[in-house]
Amino acid sequence: MQFYLLGYPLGHSMSPFLHQAFLSQAKLEGHYELKEISPKTFSEEVTRLKEMGCDGFNITIPYKVDILPFLDRVDSEAEAIGAVNTVVVEDDKWIGYNTDGRGYVTSLKYHFPALFTTKSRFLVLGAGGASRGIVHALNNEICDAITVCNRTVEKADALLESLSGSKQLAGISYEEAEKTLDMYDCIINTTSVGMEPHTRNQAISLKHLSKDTVVSDIVYKPFHTTLLQDAKKRGAQIHHGHEMLVYQAALAFKLWTGFTVDVRPVIQAFEEKLIK
């Protein structure tokens, strides 16, 4: 079987490591290769891939939206998010999915199931691509308790308006979120604030954080972000968002092969690579 990751730049992508582990777990012969495509040749390269054929591919920054016109069909979740990270090839037809948000939520649910069995209030920091996937996936689990905080509040409003079944949800500013922080059961950073090399930056002040709140960060380089360290010092529970990468990959692999991966050993190996 032949799979690819399309993106630019791809640098030290962990996806080949993850998918190779899945292939050997599934006892399938196959390859997962990086296809770094410069924006100048995107259209040509995608057309060539269509001619060449493959069993499926992932698509990452900056092409999660640019791939849409090349698809024969887009599933409803990816359509609502407005971006695709996984393409399944079925009888030469390309079908687009988005497993990012669902991957994230699967990890959060694994570690903090109680967040999903009681009426929890979620605060999501950021309203960009990563946030869209996560907010839509959260909305599929719970309906009316998601607040999005963004520097540009209008962008947060627009994201919340795109949710199905949502009622009068509005975005808020960082100032407002900081003042009311103790209201939330879970705070999720989806911005790149705190990522290497600017590791001392923190998206939000946790002065009013409650000990009962779960603080989650999708930034995983460094593994212990300043936000998570601060939350831990204040006695709150923390969630490392790196597992999103493993779960989104496992969901893509299931779409391609039908095989359900046991993600735990793969997460362990991934963590060893991240922490060393």
Report in angstroms how near the CB of residue 93 gets to ligand ATR at its nearest: 27
The single residue among 109, 155, 224, 234 that binds ligand ATR, judged by CB under 6 A, is 155
User: What's the closest the beta carbon of residue 151 comes to ligand ATR, in angstroms?
Assistant: 3
Q: Residue 259 Cβ, how far from ligand ATR at the closest point, in Å? A: 28
198 binds ligand ATR (CB under 6 A): no
Long-range contacts of 265-272 (CB under 8 A, 24+ apart): 265/21, 266/18, 266/21, 266/22, 266/25, 267/243, 269/17, 269/21, 270/14, 270/17, 270/18, 270/242, 270/245, 270/246, 271/223, 271/242
- Is residue 276 annotated as part of the catalytic site, yes or no? no
Q: Which is nearer to ligand ATR, 135 or 261 (CB)?
A: 135
- Check whether 126 is labelled as a binding-site residue: yes
88-147 binders of ligand ATR (CB under 6 A): 126-131
Is residue 100 a known part of a binding site? yes
Backbone angles phi, psi at 35, to 5 degrees: -125, 90
133 is in an annotated binding site: no
Cβ-based neighbours of 168, under 8 Å, separated by 6 or more: none
Is residue 36 within 8 Å of residue 8, measured between CB atoms? yes
Which residue numbers are catalytic? 64
The residue ranges that bind ligand ATR (CB under 6 A) are 126-131, 150-152, 155, 190-193, 203
